[in-house]
Amino acid sequence: MKNSDFRQWSRRAADWGVDYRSSLRERPVRPLVEPGDIFRSIEPSPPEAAEPMDKIFADFEAKIVPGMTHWQHPRFFAYFPANAAPVSVVAEYLVSAMAAQCMLWQTSPAATELETRIVDWMRQALGLPEGFSGVIQDSASSATLAAVLTMRERALDWQGNKQGLAGQKRPRIYSSDQVHTSIDRAIWVSGIGEDNLVRIPVTGRFRAMDTAALEAAIVADQAAGMLPAGIIASVGGTSTGGTDNVAEVAAVAKRHGLYLHVDAAWAGSAMICPEFRHFWAGAEQADSIVFNPHKWLGAQFDCSMQFIRQPEDLVRTLAIKPEFLKTHGRDGIINYSEWSVPLGRRFRALKLWFLLRAHGLEALRTMIRNHVAWSEGLAARIASEADFEIVTEPMLSLFSFRHKTAGDADDHNLRLVNAINDDGRLYLTQTRVDGRVAIRFQVGQFETTAEDVDTAFTVICDCARSLRN
């Protein structure tokens, strides 16, 4: 592509992006397609000769966009948000244009040093004490894997990477069943094995780990000759917002010398608001914490921040330093590839720098406070309807509900969530609470308004009553 064409199509793509974002309210949140529709529309073999960009772009608009789920839609109330504030999109244009490989300080000094500064900006914004450093990972899954590997190595006196797990005591990791499935994957990939992920019973409104049961499990494992290695606490679990009493869990971890990792992937963003920090009181005692600015805070995916109390332990676990990756003649530098599983790294700090400067913390706090208030208001409206019930009360902006029926409640509510999504005006997902189907609702999309939440109430009620009739 010539520079003149690069300029033309870059401008065309940017204009398209603005038009796309401004038209989202007129689009169904989830595409009305059947499995295989898009696959069949794509040519079965690659082209032998170059094709003109106008044809490629036209096919993108005609074949790809109609098959996309619109995550930036203001009525996307499913899963958790994967926000991309427009200013972070602009930053990503620049990152893509530079296409830097930011694995070492010497391969992109500005990327490394901006990352160090931005991590500390976020530490301050979340109210965490000095002493935490950190790294921007691609996702909470990678951050959790890094934490689990560090737990394993520390418990095995740093011999796991060298000797493997055969012949060692069995490392044991403890969590509730409210944590994200990324914890299960980290246990698999680390070689610890699913049988050594000990699920602790939960209690109370926020389905917190029973710390007495946690301590009893650790003591029993020690007596059985196993090797307790670490605890993973949840703040804002994926299903219904399950949140552990982090201070109590931290006290157990300290008594037994265990590594504590706090997974606050979604809810961590809310901690920029001082009034919500009680949800993770005690997090300052953790060995590592992860939260995803690419969820609620507005940074474009991927952008997951891992705070670390002792980075030397993480580096000791993950760093490999062949001669060709060494930086000679420079002291005191950080090579963030030694803090993560992948060697290759994107320039993720730039979009956070743009985002924080363009919005400021106070505007981001206002957005989060509005989302929490609107979600609580919707939960109250649904609860006031005689044919609905609230299953789990709001945890920040997440709650779950169920429509009452004389028949099979699980089947009815699955049909209801499908009817809501087929309607097209909003997107919800389901979960199971104590074995029964419930419908999740969360407010978190960057451009959602109070009117969008009002629309959600109307759609939910209309679809439920149309099923009943």
pLDDT of res. 220: 95
At residue 393, does pLDDT exceed 90? yes
Mean per-residue pLDDT of the chain: 91
At residue 429, does pLDDT exceed 90? yes
- What's the rounded Cα separation, in Å, for the pair 77 and 371? 11
Please name the residues in contact with 151: beta carbons below 8 A apart, sequence gap of 6 or more. 171, 173, 229, 230, 258, 259, 261
- What's the rounded Cα separation, in Å, for the pair 386 and 448? 27
Reported as half-sphere exposure (CB side, CA atoms, 13 A), residue 374 has a value of: 23
Which amino acid makes up residue 61? Answer: E
- Joined tokens for residue 256: 């037994």
Residue with structure tokens 């990791």? 173
pLDDT of res. 178: 79
Distances (CA, A) of 440 to 56, 131, 234, 367, 393: 38, 37, 18, 20, 11
DSSP code at position 128: P
Confidence of residue 347 (pLDDT cuts 50, 70, 90): confident
Please name the residues in contact with 307: beta carbons below 8 A apart, sequence gap of 6 or more. 119, 123, 128, 132, 133, 134, 288, 289, 290
Q: Are 307 and 133 in contact (CB under 8 A)?
A: yes
pLDDT of res. 93: 92
pLDDT of res. 320: 72
At residue 420, does pLDDT exceed 90? yes
pLDDT of res. 111: 87
pLDDT tens track for 363-381? 999 999 999 999 999 999 9
- What's the rounded Cα separation, in Å, for the pair 435 and 231? 25
pLDDT tens track for 63-119? 999 999 999 999 999 988 889 999 999 999 998 888 888 888 778 888 898 999 999
235 SS3 class: strand
At residue 62, does pLDDT exceed 70? yes
At residue 243, does pLDDT exceed 50? yes
Q: Are 285 and 254 in contact (CB under 8 A)?
A: yes
pLDDT of res. 331: 55
pLDDT tens track for 35-51? 999 989 999 999 999 99
Confidence of residue 14 (pLDDT cuts 50, 70, 90): very high
179 vs 231, higher pLDDT: 231
pLDDT tens track for 318-340? 887 654 455 544 456 888 888 88
- Could you please report the per-residue DSSP string of 344-388? -----HHHHHHHHHHHHHHHHHHHHHHHHHHHHHHHHHHHTSTTE
Vertex 142 angle, CA 138 and 147, to 5°: 135
In angstroms, what is the C-alpha Rg of the chain?
24
For 116-145, give one letter per residue: b (16+ CB within 10 A) or e.
Answer: bebbbebbebbebeeebbbbbbbbbbbbbb
Task: Report which secondary-structure segment, H or E, holds 256.
Answer: helix 246-256
**Percentage of the chain with pLDDT > 70?**
97
pLDDT of res. 323: 47
pLDDT of res. 191: 84
Mean pLDDT of 378-390: 95
Mean pLDDT of 193-205: 90
128 vs 2, higher pLDDT: 128
Q: Are 177 and 202 in contact (CB under 8 A)?
A: yes
pLDDT of res. 342: 81
Mean pLDDT of 440-458: 95
At residue 179, does pLDDT exceed 90? no
**Ordered domains of the chain (ranges, CATH):** 3-69 (1.20.1340.10), 101-346 (3.40.640.10), 360-468 (3.90.1150.10)
